[in-house]
Copies of this chain bind each other. A is one copy, B any other.
Amino acid sequence: MDAALDTDYAPLAAELRERDAVGLVVVGDRFDDDLRYCSRFSGPDRDHAFVLTPGSDGDGHTALCAPALFDEQARREFPGDAVRVERQGDPAGVRAAAALADAGHDSGTVLVPQGIPHDAAVYLEDAGYAVASTDALARARERKTDAEIDRLRRVQRAAIRGIRRAEAVLAEATVDAETDEVRWNGGVLSTERLRRQVNETLAAHGVRDAGNTVVGAGSTAADLHYTGTDVIRAGETVLLDVSPRGPDGYYGDVTRTFAVDPDGGWDRRAYLAVEAAREAALEEVAAGVPASTVHEEAAAELAAHGFRVDDDEVGFTHSTGHGVGVSLHEGPSLTADRELAAGNVLTIEPGVYDPDEGGVRLEDLIVVTESGFEFLGEYPFSLVPRERE
């Protein structure tokens, strides 16, 4: 077991001072990632609250208003100052207001994420506070600490094991010459059968698919987020996008594309183009580089290979990447007009799609450094699946 994961509250405390606010309040359930980041608390599925107040030394004082039934777990997981379990019957917004009042503030500005539950915002207003939104949390989350990078790396390694399992299955698979169906282990191989092989591997390594293990084949490989069932056929591109969540809430994210008996037409052209775009994007990455430059270089490379980059369905239809942390998608986006910073953890994921042909995407997870980047887990790629030891 690792030590509990700390959160650096200093940038949030600085935001309080800068905005002359009496507190920062985050309310949500276990599925709220801002709250997870602030509290490191993994349950329950009803609203609870995190409250940051300036504190006596300006360093900030942090409290978690937790459900009494989760008291022990909250004390185990919360790296902040105080777990409060009083006023169980009250809504989380009311309990947050009580924590603010106990800290000596019964009026003033309270900062909240813009998506805070409406009732919590109204309770805070009713208690006499002016509610103002802040993106300080989203900004703080973009710069990962070493401990966070360590978590991300471990989840990514498990994700890669999922890809490795899928590639092994595809390498073992055979083709039914009559029907063109791909067969494995005595039966037809569907996207769902392959997905379950991946998800079993994830579970065996202590991470979980978050209902989003994408496996598409042929036309459904051109659907960016396919989680349905399709028979896999010879020659079809099989696209696997594996993004599990680890026990501390951090995600991995890796994509590989294979084909059993590829015909060397569109799939081969697409693969070469995506490979080149990946290289072009990675070459740009470093602290201080405008994020959009990375995307533009990937797009230029794909365009140079003859793929469209201006359509919703055909060609390169999405951004080259996004930040990953306690949310699968967080800042910075690689289409954003701003500079990358050391500690940003990003996907690099060029891809091209054609509903008549299939889809090819390659995705890796990296951390930005001053001089470039490091991979958080590496795995080779080739259109034809291989047994790898």
Contacts and interface: CB of A to CB of B under 8 A. Distances in A.
A208 B208 contact: yes
Nearest to A206: B196
Contacts of A117: 114-118
A202 B209 CA distance: 11
A225 B328 contact: no
B225 A206 contact: no
A47 B32 CA distance: 12
Given A118-B112, A121-B118, A203-B203, A69 B318 contact: yes
Interface string A182-220: 000000000010001001101111101111100000000
Given A46-B329, A116-B118, A224 B317 contact: no
Given A118-B114, A118-B121, A209 B206 contact: no
Given A115-B117, A118-B115, A224-B69, A43 B212 contact: yes
Nearest to A195: B206
A145 interface: no
Count this chain's copies in the assembly: 2
A337 interface: no
A125 to B, nearest CB: 10
A204 B202 CA distance: 11
Contacts of A329: 44-46
Interface centre among A44, A47, A72, A205 (most CB of B within 10 A): A72
A143 B247 CA distance: 33
A250 B202 CA distance: 21
A359 to B, nearest CB: 12
Interface in A316-371: 317-318, 327-329
Given A133-B119, A318-B69, A245 B208 contact: no
A44 B31 CA distance: 13
Nearest to A70: B225
A230 to B, nearest CB: 9
A225 B41 CA distance: 12
Contacts of A118: 112, 114-118, 120-121, 131, 133
A177 interface: no
Contact of A45 (B206, B223, B327): B327
Interface of A: 1, 31-32, 42-47, 68-73, 76, 112, 114-121, 131, 133, 192, 196, 199-200, 202-206, 208-212, 223-229, 245, 247, 312, 317-318, 327-329
A47 B69 CA distance: 30
A225 B44 contact: yes
Nearest to A198: B203
A164 B117 CA distance: 39
Contact of A211 (B46, B70, B72, B247): B247
Contacts of A223: 72-73
Given A118-B121, A196-B204, A211 B42 contact: yes
Contacts of A203: 196, 199-200, 202-203, 209
A301 B367 CA distance: 57
Interface centre among A47, A133, A211, A245 (most CB of B within 10 A): A211
Contacts of A209: 203, 208
Contacts of A328: 45
Contacts of A192: 206
Given A44-B225, A46-B329, A196-B205, 18 more contacts: A1-B229, A44-B329, A45-B327, A70-B224, A112-B118, A115-B117, A115-B119, A116-B118, A117-B118, A118-B118, A118-B121, A196-B203, A196-B204, A196-B206, A199-B208, A203-B203, A203-B209, A211-B245
